[in-house]
């Protein structure tokens, strides 16, 4: 239904029943990254990633996406460096994708959508005791975003794709006990970074985004495997899990920095 201007803030995103705009929000995500407006920052360090594949726990369909969750009770899977002042612990990764290949990513680059986007979610366990507390703090989270483009089959992703039929319905889970998510990262070290928010509830403005410049390639069958998941629980009328991305948010008073010239 069309939203008139006056109650635009009351508009809810059909998928998450969450506000399209956070009242007073000044650093919401996702955003369009205008390449020529990003500013090279020579002081940005290389991002250092060290994941222990045995910290992988399970895959579950939470009704928005499918999440691969990790044991974040120790510092065995962490990232450090880049724009970050502390080290951050890996908690989970998940994806956003479209019904067709023309869209699906949350961030865009020069207004171009990719068919899907991977988010690796980390929290600042140096300064905060739990993920739930870190979610409420401006420097609480760091999310690495990786674009997926249509191309060659991705062998590392395939082990994940093979497990998806077991989590077809909302609130289903399958054990997944060894996986190294660094196989899902492009080899190129280049990234953009900016201060933003979670793109699904609680939408808090607690995320240092690190968006990789280069996409990874996946093939059509692998994208189709994402699209056969369901938003709905077993026994309900089936709704395919597609278009689970939040609309673009205003940049406001922010600069996107690049680690490359």
Ligand X SMILES: NS(=O)(=O)N=C1NCCCN1
- The CB-nearest residue to Zn ion is 119
Rule CB under 6 A: say whether 198 interacts with ligand X: yes
Indicate whether 91 belongs to the interface with Zn ion (CB under 5 A): no
- DSSP H or E stretch at residue 88: strand 88-97
Stretch near ligand X under the rule CB under 6 A, chosen from 10-18, 48-56, 108-116, 196-204:
196-204
Tokens 């895959």 belong to residue: 59
- Give the shortest CB-129-to-ligand X separation in angstroms: 17
Rg (CA), the chain: 18
Which of 108, 139, 193, 200 touches ligand X by CB under 6 A?
200
State how far the alpha carbon of 216 is from the alpha carbons of 131, 145, 204, 210, 243, in Å: 28, 11, 28, 15, 19
Query: Which helix or strand (DSSP H or E) is residue 131 part of?
Result: helix 131-134
143 lies in the binding site for ligand X (CB under 6 A): yes
* Rounded Cα distance, 158 and 175, in Å: 16
Please select the residue that binds Zn ion; options are 119, 154, 170, 212, rule is CB under 5 A: 119
Minimum distance, C-beta of residue 145 to ligand X, in the bound complex (Å): 9
Asked if 199 contacts 64 with a C-beta cutoff of 8 angstroms, the reply is no
**Tokens at 148, concatenated:** 């997926």
Closer residue to ligand X, CB minimum distance, 64 or 76: 64
Instruction: Tell whether residue 109 is a contact of ligand X (CB under 6 A).
Output: no
Least distance to ligand X from the beta carbon of 7, Å?
Answer: 26
Which of 119, 31, 48, 121 has the alpha carbon at shortest distance from 83? 48
Give the one residue of 55, 199, 206, 222 binding ligand X; rule: CB under 6 A: 199
Q: Which residues bind ligand X (CB under 6 A)?
A: 119, 121, 143, 198-200
Q: Which residues bind Zn ion (CB under 5 A)?
A: 119
């Amino acid at each position: 239904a069309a939203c008139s201007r006056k109650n635009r803030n009351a508009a809810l995103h059909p998928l998450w029943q969450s506000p399209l705009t956070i009242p007073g929000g000044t650093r919401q995500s996702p955003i369009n990254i205008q390449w020529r407006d990003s500013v090279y920052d020579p002081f940005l360090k290389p991002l250092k990633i060290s994941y222990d594949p045995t910290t992988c726990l399970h895959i579950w369909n939470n009704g928005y996406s499918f999440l691969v969750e990790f044991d974040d009770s120790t510092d065995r899977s962490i990232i450090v460096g880049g724009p970050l002042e502390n080290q951050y612990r890996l908690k989970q990764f998940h994806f956003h994708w479209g019904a067709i290949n023309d869209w699906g990513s949350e961030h865009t680059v020069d207004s171009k959508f990719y068919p899907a986007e991977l988010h690796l979610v980390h929290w600042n366990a140096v300064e905060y005791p739990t993920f739930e507390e870190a979610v409420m703090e401006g420097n609480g989270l760091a999310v690495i975003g990786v674009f997926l483009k249509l191309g060659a089959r991705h062998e590392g992703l395939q082990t994940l794709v093979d497990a998806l039929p077991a989590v077809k319905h909302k609130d289903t889970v399958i054990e997944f006990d060894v996986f190294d998510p660094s196989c899902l990262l492009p080899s190129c070290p280049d990234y953009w970074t900016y201060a933003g928010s979670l793109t699904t509830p609680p939408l808090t403005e607690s995320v240092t985004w690190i968006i990789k410049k280069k996409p990874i390639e996946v093939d059509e069958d692998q994208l189709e495997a994402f699209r056969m998941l369901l938003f709905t629980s077993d026994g309900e009328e089936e709704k395919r899990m597609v278009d689970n991305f939040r609309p673009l948010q205003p940049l406001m008073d922010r600069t996107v920095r690049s680690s490359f010239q």
